[in-house]
Amino acid sequence: MAFTEISRNKAFGGHLVKYQHSSEELQCDMKFNVFLPKESAEGQAVPGIYFLSGLTCTEDNFIQKSGALAEAAKHGVALIAPDTSPRGVSIEGDNDSWDFGTGAGFYLDATEPKWAKHYRMYSYIVEELPSLVHNQLPIDESRISIMGHSMGGHGALTIYMRNPTKYKTVSAFSPIANPINCPWGQKAFSNYLGKDESTWKQYDTIELIKSHMNEKLDVLVDVGTADGFLENQLKVTALQQAVHELGRDSEWNIRFQDGYDHSYFFISTFIADHINHHVKSLKA
């Protein structure tokens, strides 16, 4: 299956390209952005970082606001930025609230009949999108990693932990670290996955740490101490405690950044650290 080029802009010696394709997993048309550094035009396949965005975002927010293109260009790394949910589907209630439905796919595969046909963002990110990207673009499938913000931080961490041989490393800004125990996660999971809370654990970072004790992880997490969602929604303190109790502090670099909030000003401040974190593994 091919995708269609929608736009192309030169940036930092490379190109930012927006593509559109018909998704079999999501049963709708989807758009995504790819930054291809100049090295990709020289006949070599480059490493790539997938970025998963947060609630209400599209494929554009990270690309336009984070400052990541300059850092990726510096290291000759591609960036792949998909959308956050299916688009243009007709499901009653999918546009009723900002934290569920459109713009809020939560990077899971829905099982409730109302949502199961279209809301399959986990399989889209892990299987379908990479099959397109790595078959048709000069991005090395053996050297990829994943990162994200907020809902996308949740997605990046859980996808990495469930597929540790697929991704070299992971990082997250302000992740929803324990969605089964926060309002955002409980609302999404109960609707997408149903009332059986045992099925929710496969999409919860803290629960996955407990069940994936054999894999050696490499994780960077940043969260701002002035993030208004820190205590009620993100539960990063609970993540830090779980990591410590399980004796895995050496695998998780969890940093509380003084005075920073949930915004892209925070992300742009520390994006160089995160790109460097990924480059160390991608170019090892």
Mean pLDDT of the chain: 96
Binned at pLDDT 50, 70 and 90, residue 211 comes out as confident
pTM: 0.97
User: Does the domain spanning 4-282 belong to CATH 3.40.50.1820?
Assistant: yes
**With contact defined as beta carbons under 8 Å apart, do 222 and 270 qualify?**
yes
Residue 213 has pLDDT above 80, yes or no: no
Cα 149 to Cα 25, 64, 76: the distances in Å are 23, 14, 22
Instruction: Return the pLDDT at 104.
Output: 97
Q: 82-132 pLDDT, tens per residue?
A: 999 999 998 999 999 999 999 999 999 999 999 999 999 999 999 999 999
Active site residues: 150, 227, 262
Break the chain into its structural domains and give their ranges. Answer: 4-282
Q: 138-155 pLDDT, tens per residue?
A: 999 999 999 999 999 999
